[in-house]
Amino acid sequence: MPAPRALATEAVHAGRDDLARQGVHAPPIDLSTTYPSYDSRGEAARIDAFAADGAEPEGPPVYGRLGNPTVARFETALARLEGTESAVAFATGMAALSAVLLVRNAMGLRHVVAVRPLYGCSDHLLTAGLLGSEVTWVDPAGIADALRPDTGLVMVESPANPTLAELDLRAVAHACGSVPLLADNTFATPVLQRPVEQGARLVLHSATKYLGGHGDVMGGVVACDEEFAGRLRQVRFATGGVLHPLAGYLLLRGLSTLPVRVRAASSNAAELAGRLAADPRVTCVHYPRIGGAMVAFEVAGDPHDVIASVRLITPAVSLGSVDTLIQHPASISHRIVDADDRRGAGVSDRLLRLSVGLEDVEDLWADLDRALGTASGRGRVLREAAVANG
C-alpha cells in the first residue's frame, strides 16, 4: 500500500494512480461483459482461486459478474477514503446490505442485533426476514445482552436516517465483542467519520446519495477487510447484484468532489439548522454534533403543507445531491416501517427531513421561510375555524 495521503488528495487520486502511466487522464470505461482468453488453463486457475477465497482474479478479467476494472477503480478509491483494505460495490445500497446478510446466513449466523432508527428499507429487510435472518431490536445499551451464539451481525446507523440520532460507535463496537459491527455511514460519509477507526468491521454506503452526489446514479458499497470482501464478491458473483461500469465511473467521479461538496453543504445545513431552531413555527430541530448536510425538524403546523409549498427545494425522497431535497419520513422513506415502531424510534409524524445542497443559503432560507409560513398560516386558519365552531 502507498503511504497514507490526506483525504482530499485520496478523493482525486485514489483508483487513478496508474492513469498517467497509461497515457490517459480520465479513467477508461470498460463495458465488456466478457474477456477473450486463449489460455483456458490459466482462466480455470483464476476461477478456482476466486471460488476459494473471492480474491480479485490476478491477470485479465474473466466475466462482468466476477469483477469489472472500472468498478474496481471506484472500490479502490472508496476503500482508501474509509481506511479499509477493500471495498465491494453493488447495484444499490440495498443490494450491498443483502449481500452482507447472505454472507452471514450462509455461515449459519442468521441472528442480527440492530438499533433503530435505520433507513426504512433496511428496517423492513430485517423485520420481514426476507433473507431468512431474524432481528432483535435494542437500545445501544442492550447490544451486549442481545448477542447469541448465532448472532452474525450488529447493525447501526450514525447519524441515523431520518432522525440524525448519533451513537458512540466506539462503545457500540466494544459491546459487539467478536461479532462484526456494520455501520451505515451514508449520512456522514468518510469526510466526517470513518467508522472502521472506531471499531466497526463493515461500513455500508448507499452510494446513490453523497458518493454519487448528483442524483443520477444508484449504487451501494461495503468497505471492509479483505477476508470479508472475498465472501462479498462470491455472493455478488452468485447472486448478480453488480454495479454497472457506467455507474462505477460516475461514482468514482463523484468521490473526487466529495470532500468539497460535503463541507459546503454542511455549512449551509448548519446555518439552516440554527435558523430553524430559532423559529417559533418549528418545534424541534435535529442536527448532528459531527455536522453534515442533513437537517431534521418538526413543525408546529402540518408537515404536508410544507412539502406542498416549497418551490426552490425539491420535494423528493433520497438525499445527498447537489440540490436541496425535502421529504416527510412518516409518509415516504419510512412508510414501510410499522407506525408504532417508527414512532418508538423517534420518527414523529411531524418530522421533515431536509437534505441540504449547494445553493446559496439565503435562497434556501427564503424558500423554507415561505413554506413554513404557508404551513403555520393554514394551521392557524384551521385552529381559528375550530374555535369559531366551538
Ligand X SMILES: *Cc1c(COP(=O)(O)O)cnc(C)c1O
Indicate the SS3 state at residue 386: helix
Instruction: Give residue number: closest CB to ligand X.
Output: 93
* Burial of 29 from C-beta contacts in 10 A (0-12 / 13-18 / 19+): middle
Contact positions toward ligand X, by CB under 6 A? 92-94, 119, 121-122, 157, 161, 184, 186, 206, 208-209, 218, 220
d(CA 222, CA 82): 10
Nearest Cα residue to 169 out of 143, 141, 195, 132: 195
Q: Which one, 161 or 376, has the nearer CB to ligand X?
A: 161
Helix ranges (H only) for the chain are: 7-13, 19-22, 40-53, 69-82, 93-106, 120-127, 143-146, 169-176, 189-192, 226-239, 245-277, 303-309, 339-344, 361-388
Shortest distance, CB of residue 274 to ligand X, whole angstroms? 24
Under DSSP, the state recorded for 358 is: S
Joined grid coordinates for residue 7: 483525504
Nearest Cα residue to 243 out of 80, 18, 92: 92
**Rounded (5°) CA angle 79-180-243:** 40
Q: Which one, 91 or 147, has the nearer CB to ligand X?
A: 91
Q: Which one, 90 or 297, has the nearer CB to ligand X?
A: 90
CA quadruple 130, 136, 140, 143: dihedral positive or negative? Answer: negative
Shortest distance, CB of residue 269 to ligand X, whole angstroms? 16
d(CA 196, CA 7): 15
Give catalytic residues, as residue numbers.
65, 119, 184, 209
Shortest distance, CB of residue 209 to ligand X, whole angstroms? 6
Q: Tell me which amino acid residue 218 is.
A: M
d(CA 265, CA 369): 19
- Backbone torsions φ then ψ of 321, nearest 5 degrees: -90, 170
Shortest distance, CB of residue 120 to ligand X, whole angstroms? 9
Q: Which one, 216 or 363, has the nearer CB to ligand X?
A: 216
Q: Which one, 157 or 305, has the nearer CB to ligand X?
A: 157
Shortest distance, CB of residue 203 to ligand X, whole angstroms? 12
Q: Which residue has 502511466 as its cell numbers?
A: 21
Q: Which one, 96 or 103, has the nearer CB to ligand X?
A: 96
Q: Which one, 79 or 99, has the nearer CB to ligand X?
A: 99
Shortest distance, CB of residue 389 to ligand X, whole angstroms? 43
CA quadruple 101, 102, 104, 109: dihedral positive or negative? Answer: positive
First to last CA, the chain: 74
Shortest distance, CB of residue 324 to ligand X, whole angstroms? 16
